[in-house]
C-alpha cells in the first residue's frame, strides 16, 4: 500500500471528505504502477484550515487534463474539481487525480504526531510507520 499526504485548502478539503469533489488537480502525479493501492491523507492547509490531517480518500488514477482529455470533457473536469473553467485553463500542464471513498478522521491529527514539522507544498509520500499511526486514529 502507498500512502500520500496531500495538502488541500478549504473549502476543497471539505468537498473531498463530503464526497462532492471527485477530481483533484495537480501539476504532477505519483510515480506508481496502475494497479497500486493508494491512500491520500488530507492535510487541511491555509489560513482558514485546521492545519492538521483531517481524513483520507482513495486515489484511482490520473489523467492529463489538457493532453488526453477531449475538449468537450474539460468542462466536466472543472465541475468535478470544483474549479472555474477559466482558472483550470490557466493550469497547464496539469493532471486530474481521480479520488473517492472519503473517510473523515474522528479527531484531526497534528503533523507532529507522525514526525513531520511542516506540511508538503503539494504532496509527499508517507512511510509505512506514519501511515500506521494515521490508520490507528481511524478506529
Flag whether pLDDT at 135 surpasses 90. Answer: yes
pLDDT range class, residue 72, cuts 50, 70, 90: low
* Domains held by the chain: number: 1
| Euclidean distance between CA atoms 104 and 52, whole angstroms | 12
Question: Is the whole model's pTM more than 0.85, yes or no?
Answer: yes
Whole domain around residue 23: which residue ranges?
2-60+99-138
Beta strands in the chain (DSSP E): 2-9, 23-26, 38-45, 52-64, 95-109, 123-125
| Euclidean distance between CA atoms 126 and 89, whole angstroms | 31
pLDDT at 88: 85
Looking from the CA of 69 toward its CB, the CA atoms found within 13 Å total: 21
pLDDT range class, residue 69, cuts 50, 70, 90: low
Is 66 part of a structural domain of the chain? no
CB 53 within 8 A of CB 105: yes
pLDDT at 35: 66
Average pLDDT, whole number, for the chain? 91
134 burial via Cβ count (<10 Å: 0-12, 13-18, 19+): buried
Is 49 part of a structural domain of the chain? yes
CA angle 54, 57, 58 (to 5 degrees): 160
Is 89 part of a structural domain of the chain? no
Tens of pLDDT, residue by residue over 10-29, are: 999 999 999 999 999 999 99
Is 40 part of a structural domain of the chain? yes
Is 124 part of a structural domain of the chain? yes
Tens of pLDDT, residue by residue over 91-122, are: 888 899 999 999 999 999 999 999 999 999 99
Give the 3-state secondary structure of residue 50: coil
| Euclidean distance between CA atoms 96 and 80, whole angstroms | 10
Is 70 part of a structural domain of the chain? no
pLDDT range class, residue 68, cuts 50, 70, 90: low
The neighbouring-strand residues paired with 63 are 96
Amino acid at each position: 500500500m502507498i500512502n500520500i499526504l496531500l495538502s488541500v485548502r478549504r473549502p476543497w478539503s471539505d468537498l473531498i471528505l463530503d464526497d462532492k469533489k471527485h477530481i483533484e488537480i495537480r501539476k504532477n502525479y505519483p510515480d506508481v504502477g496502475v494497479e497500486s493501492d493508494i491512500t491520500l491523507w488530507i492535510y487541511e492547509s491555509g489560513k482558514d484550515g485546521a492545519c492538521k490531517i483531517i481524513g483520507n480518500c482513495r486515489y484511482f488514477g490520473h489523467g492529463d487534463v489538457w493532453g488526453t482529455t477531449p475538449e468537450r470533457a474539460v468542462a466536466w473536469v472543472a465541475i468535478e474539481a470544483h474549479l472555474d473553467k477559466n482558472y483550470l485553463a490557466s493550469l497547464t500542464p496539469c493532471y486530474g487525480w481521480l479520488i473517492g471513498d472519503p473517510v473523515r478522521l474522528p479527531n484531526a491529527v497534528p503533523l507532529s504526531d507522525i514526525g513531520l514539522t511542516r506540511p508538503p507544498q503539494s504532496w509527499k509520500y508517507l512511510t509505512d510507520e506514519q501511515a500506521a499511526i494515521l490508520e490507528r486514529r481511524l478506529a
